[in-house]
Homo-oligomer: A and B are copies of this chain.
């Protein structure tokens, strides 16, 4: 059985008005996003923007000593490469595929031109950017105040929201990298969640058995971000802006 791929799997593309979508459609290029692929390096040029459909991509800051932390997650609800239309051309963050899958890409020039029409595409992208800002801000607060276990719950739920099933492929080592904590810390937190029957994992495969249970344990950060995404980007296209 082969999987159907369509740009409409990405919520931003799906939310475009017909005219705008028509302009871009033929330029959208399906790309495979294997685990670990870096779509952008810190400070590098952005030649394309990416609209994930089944993949999940993490925005990571890597520090001089190698320590890292995830500042946001982008999946089928979003776009990678906002610095392009924000005017900076580049950012100090890396974008790394965290969960393999597919997405569509578009040449930088085309997206910029579309953005510069200052129409619905621009407004949609700016709203998405604001939602992303909320996610970053909440991550900062969460890093400050919440335990590894709560952050793991948040991370699992954010990932789950961007995937079709209830399973994700991810080693504890990689999760630790995302959260910016030690692998052992993740092992301990995940072990606790497993003992309590919320998840089940083995060698890089995590199955969520009790999603409501996770939602009970997660810190408020998850819900704040989710609510803000829903508020700013109701899944149906809504052209009543301004």
Contact = CB atoms under 8 A, between A and B. Distances in A.
Interface stretch (A14-22, A80-88, A190-198, A201-209): A80-88
Interface stretch (A24-32, A48-56, A140-148, A154-162): A140-148
Contact of A87 (B69, B86, B126, B138): B126
Contacts of A137: 59, 61, 71-72, 92-93, 136, 140
Contacts of A143: 140-141, 143-144
Given A140-B69, A143-B144, A127 B87 contact: yes
Contact of A112 (B63, B86, B126, B242): B242
A131 B88 CA distance: 8
Interface string A125-140: 0110111111011111
Interface string A87-113: 110011100000000000000000010
Interface size class of A (residues with CB under 8 A): 35 or more
Contact of A86 (B59, B126, B145): B126
A123 interface: yes
A221 to B, nearest CB: 8
A116 interface: yes
Interface of A: 59, 61, 63-64, 67-69, 71-72, 82-83, 85-88, 91-93, 112, 116, 118, 122-123, 126-127, 129-134, 136-141, 143-145, 180, 220, 224, 228, 231-232, 241-242
